[in-house]
Amino acid sequence: MVEVIINGHAGRLEGRYHQAKRPDAPVALILHPHPQYGGTMNNKVAYALFTCFRDLGFSVLRFNFRGVGRSQGEFEDGPGELSDATIALDWLQAQNPDARQCWIAGYSFGAWIGLQLLMRRPDINNFVAVSPPANEKDFGFLAPCPTSGLLVQGGMDDIGDPKIVEELALRLNAQRHVDVDFAMIEEGDHMYNGHLVDLYKVVGNYVISALSKKAPAKKRRGRRKKSEIAEQMLLEGQTADEEDDELLDDEDDDFDDDDEFIDGDDFADDEK
């Protein structure tokens, strides 16, 4: 993972980027929660999303919206942050011109921004929205929803209303030509304290399923590839190693910049 600086409309945007080994690896952009409530790219939910996509062989970017951390500019409660996300996605795609798929994943405020970006970018193939603020923000712009995706909600969320998010998922799934899945983590609160591993598994299994629907089966011989090992671990309810569970379940809201779930080679990248 490397630190990156992206030139945005309000100044520089700081980010963290993981480059997959395969040139055709899919890409994912991760969007963090509300900046005025302490949301940053190092938020634990945002980091869990980043790690999940990384472990499945994606090139992944997470970044700070304007006015957060070392990103320049001031908070705009929507328009400016949508502009930041657009520029970040442009940067990510420029680094990966041969990427076979493009995903967007956001948490809370970041989910709201991500779904707006989805409406503007037909090149986005799929989305993950964790705890979208459906009781505070209008999601009527998703008419029609342009692509399939996943909504995740904590059943014990005391900030968002689980029933409203579930109703949003049902409305989206009723639209033609898309499949919008809904996953409830029953004991999860808004921060998913003690349930970040559950979130990692739910999102990982959805990504594996969605990718398998789009990719034709291929015969493989010899050693199992690292991506296959990652898939098996997710399906069996495991993370990269035992230390991952401790990191994911830590009560602190943020990861330090240097925190990593695994060291050395990223096991999800296919071996050459």
- Exposure string of 68-79, with b = 16+ CB inside 10 Å and e = fewer, is bbebebeebeee
- With beta carbons less than 8 A apart as the criterion, state whether 61 and 91 touch: yes
pLDDT for residue 228: 53
Farthest CA pair distance, the chain: 53
Number of structural domains, the chain?
1
Confidence check: pLDDT of 258 > 90: no
Task: Kindly state whether residue 166 falls inside one of the protein's structural domains.
Answer: yes
Helix (H) or strand (E) holding 60: strand 59-63
Task: Kindly state whether residue 43 falls inside one of the protein's structural domains.
Answer: yes
Give tens-digit pLDDT for 122-143: 999 999 999 999 999 999 999 9
Give tens-digit pLDDT for 98-126: 999 999 999 999 999 999 999 999 999 99
Task: Kindly state whether residue 122 falls inside one of the protein's structural domains.
Answer: yes
Q: For residue 69, what are the domain limits?
A: 2-215+222-249
Give tens-digit pLDDT for 55-77: 999 999 999 999 999 999 999 99
Name the more confident of 219 and 206.
Answer: 206
Task: Kindly state whether residue 151 falls inside one of the protein's structural domains.
Answer: yes
Average pLDDT over residues 168-189: 95
Task: Kindly state whether residue 271 falls inside one of the protein's structural domains.
Answer: no
Confidence check: pLDDT of 238 > 80: no
* Tokens matching residue 191: 């921060």
Average pLDDT over residues 170-198: 96
CATH number, residue 232: 3.40.50.1820
Task: Kindly state whether residue 261 falls inside one of the protein's structural domains.
Answer: no
Task: Kindly state whether residue 254 falls inside one of the protein's structural domains.
Answer: no
pTM to 2 decimal places: 0.83
Confidence class of residue 213 from pLDDT cuts 50, 70 and 90?
confident
CA dist 241 and 262 (Å) reads 7
Mean pLDDT, all residues of the chain: 85
Task: Kindly state whether residue 50 falls inside one of the protein's structural domains.
Answer: yes
User: Helix, strand, or coil here: 62?
Assistant: strand
CB-neighbour burial class of residue 215 (10 A; exposed 0-12, middle 13-18, buried 19+)? exposed
